[in-house]
Amino acid sequence: MPINVAELKPVGEFGSKAWCVACAKAGVQLLEEGNIPDDVQWGFSEIYMNPPARLLADGRKLAAYYFMVKDGVISGGDGAPEACRALPGFHVEAPWAAICNQSGAKYGREGQRQRSADEKVMYSAIAEHLGRPSAVKVGFMKEVVWPPAVAAALGAGSEEGGGLHNIAATIQAPSPEFAEYPTTELGVPIFAEMTDAQKQEFLGLLGIET
């Protein structure tokens, strides 16, 4: 049965094990429903760096999730195994705090563009504050590859509130770190409007030494 976003409820914070497992399960289901060609070998993984300690409880090594299609088999789960990361696809590592809050916003294509623009402003403000460029490291591990069938499966209905991103946003619970920060409409922290204390705290969450 297709995923009904209207029936979904928050299951955990961004990067938590419960949230990662649920996101991976959704990704697997969307690919299974998408009739992916047998010759597609593709992987998706996101690793959230410098997460709060509570997200790594009980011996959890990474705040991350993945799903993949290999040799006709679709699988996924918590973590980011090398078998997935070695495949062409979408593989990213980003500071948890850099993308956490806005990942809970639901949007379509235009919202994604606005989020990217808001994040660019945030990164520029941080670099200006520190007096050095590229203070926030968001890295793609290899060239991004989106086979048409995969892109269609994961993005289906995104303009109407569906698709992987909106599913993940809907099941994401708020993280307390962002409760008092100034943010854009899409939840991107507005670094330039933070108090000095908030700026120091946010830089710490990003893992940036000052």
Residue 2: its pLDDT value, please?
A: 81
pTM above 0.85, yes or no: yes
Give 27-32's long-range contacts (Cβ < 8 A, gap of 24+): 27/65, 27/67, 27/76, 27/154, 27/164, 28/67, 28/74, 28/75, 28/76, 29/3, 30/3, 30/153, 30/154, 30/156, 30/163, 30/164, 31/67, 31/69, 31/74, 31/150, 31/153, 31/154, 32/74
| Rounded Cα gap, residues 51 and 62, in angstroms | 9
Residue 143: its pLDDT value, please?
A: 86
Backbone torsions φ then ψ of 108, nearest 5 degrees: -110, -150
Q: Averaged in consecutive runs of 10 residues, what is the pLDDT profile of the chain (210 residues)?
A: 90 98 98 94 97 97 98 97 97 96 96 96 94 74 89 92 96 98 98 97 91
| Rounded Cα gap, residues 55 and 47, in angstroms | 12
Residue 87: its pLDDT value, please?
A: 97
